[in-house]
Structure 1
């Protein structure tokens, strides 16, 4: 279902230079500790802020203003900046990936909901959930984005996954229940196919053999033979299967289920569910894994909290209050993603 704030946003809301000043002033008030830390960065979509959490104490040490409805984030190819996509404010906020300190803004990036760079870093792509389109940019480095194509994709294009050769990006279309394959060099739709109710998160298995699709409108992950445009299997997980995160062991991937409040473990070789993490708060969504693979951090969108899961015991061991509707999460010292999806 479309967010009501998306319906109310009839035009572009431009964030003026004063907004950048406000964000920097807010960060300055946090103190010198924030500037030295490797902070966990959490986007509070419902409050137009990001929370900074000290990675040692697990305490919230500050809140920084963003644009309106920040949902997702992605590091620049050189990892010097973390891009926060403000979907309703139509802009990007660049922050220091270690500290969360604001660096600069780029305006007139329309409705950036999900975002990502192609593996060869030539393309920067955003989904316009509110505007029903895919925006493809040439990326010239140093924050230089030049629009290549605004491609209509109805309805509610959501998540992305890139092939390793950077030729194709897959896009989930939540309202039509489809996934689309888009050719990046020509910026055209190669094909669309039905996969089920409200597809969201996308994940390519090792060797790009299959595309996994999280069904937010159902209780399964669809396994797609994308070369032949065919669903070959469904994997039962919790209700509202949504987003993926690699376990970085070459074999397993996690999928969050926002209604059943569980995270399932899928074997990417056998394509079976082999485990489950339960006892979670409402709305598990985005996930991030520490560099040592010991702890999984999760945003709980319906609980205004994030959680820390011990991956040895598969238990939730800590929760931390943040802002309303926490969504994207990132920290600099993290395990690699090990997938063409990127961050």
Structure 2
């Protein structure tokens, strides 16, 4: 059979159809789970009920973390390499607007009083502090903060932000009203995720270069305890019971459950795919969803028996995860 070349218009039409098929339009669901695929510059929308990917939406380059606006009207996607923020509808994943010239937004967070919007510049060795008036974001101070500022936690009074510095192995305390560094202290190898215990008593630090969580008495700038977890202790998520917080162990491929009162590891979730990272909790508090950075999948853990019950294929290097119908976060350092 002879094959004839397609006319240019037909070729263009087919190419456009192929491109459209690659990025499905967001579906009109109010229970979409949003997952950032850092290695593909996309976000995946997953229907929480059917647990099926219903859309793939392009983002900027290297979207790592995301956070809702204080009024929950938008979900902010931080595109670290594109130097911008993408605002999407938290219910549907549809793009609302873009904010340009936000340099290297790796991790982002709002202070509890909603006055400050903070962004760590992982590759620029800098912390950017912005004014936030409920809609507009404007720079207040660019603060040099070497080396590799990563995760953020706030005191409940919004006076202090804590920043982990991955390469220098420190935690920095930032005075938000004056936008100055109050102090730095050594905590260990490759500190990453930060978590405030109830009453702002301690800062928990996930030691990604080790196998434990450091308990920091931040008022006296000293480590009072270490909690054995698994190799690559990385990020935290409250289990919304007022007592426990989960920590993902990226190298060990486990998740540890920490009792916030006794500061002990009360159990590990095993049998996971490689590289558990960010986590999100369902509104009924039964299921913990987790991104597997090294496996192109997210997983769903049943907390009644602490077993992985399902995995869902997404894009390359899935990182941040969020869904509108979620359990509340019981600490002031956000999603």
Question: By the TM > 0.5 criterion, same fold?
Answer: yes
Segments of structure 2 that go 5 or more residues without pairing to the other structure are 1-15
Q: Is the 8 A contact 2:296 2:317 kept in 1?
A: yes
In the alignment, which residue of structure 2 is the partner of 1:314?
306
Q: Is the 8 A contact 2:30 2:324 kept in 1?
A: no
Partner of 1:124: 117
Q: Does 1:59 align with 2:59?
A: no
Bigger Rg, structure 1 or 2? 2
Name segments (4+ residues, structure 1) moved above 2 Å. 25-32
- SS of residue in 1 equivalent to 2:328: coil
State the match for 1:92 in structure 2. Answer: 85
In the alignment, which residue of structure 2 is the partner of 1:69?
A: 62
Q: Distance in 2 between matches of 1:77 and 1:89?
A: 24
Q: Please, which runs of 5 or more residues in structure 1 have no aligned partner?
A: 1-21
After superposition, the C-alpha distances for 1:44-80 in whole angstroms (9 at most, x for unaligned) are: 0000000011111101111100000000000001100
Give 1:11's aligned residue: none
Cα RMSD of the aligned pairs, angstroms, is: 1.5
TM-score with structure 1 setting the length? 0.91
TM-score in terms of structure 2 length: 0.93
Aligned partner of residue 303 in structure 1, secondary structure: coil
Q: Give 1:261-276 correspondences, 5 Å limit.
A: 261-276=253-268
- Report the alpha carbon displacement of residue 93 of structure 1 after superposing the two structures with TM: 0.2
The superposition leaves residues 234-254 of structure 1 with CA deviations (integer Å, 9 ceiling, x where unpaired) of: 000000000000011111110
2:206–2:214 Cα contact (<8 Å) kept: yes
Q: Deviations over 1:89-118 (max 9, x none)?
A: 000000000111111000000000000000
Query: Which one of the candidate residues 278, 281, 293 is aligned to 1:289?
Result: 281
Residue 31 of structure 1: how far off its partner (Å): 5.1
For the pair 1:254 / 2:238, whether they are aligned, the reply is no
Q: Distance in 2 between matches of 1:141 and 1:178?
A: 32
1:298-313 paired onto structure 2 within 5 Å = 298-313=290-305
Cα displacement (A) at 1:340: 1.2
Q: How many residues were matched structurally?
A: 318
Deviations 1:279-320 (A, max 9, x none): 000000000000100000000000000000000010000000
C-alpha distance in structure 2 between counterparts of 1:125 and 1:299, whole Å? 24
Answering whether residue 202 of structure 2 is matched by residue 174 of structure 1, we say no
| 2:150 match | 158
Contact 1:183-1:189 within 8 A present in 2 as well: yes
Whether 1:211 aligns to 2:203 is yes
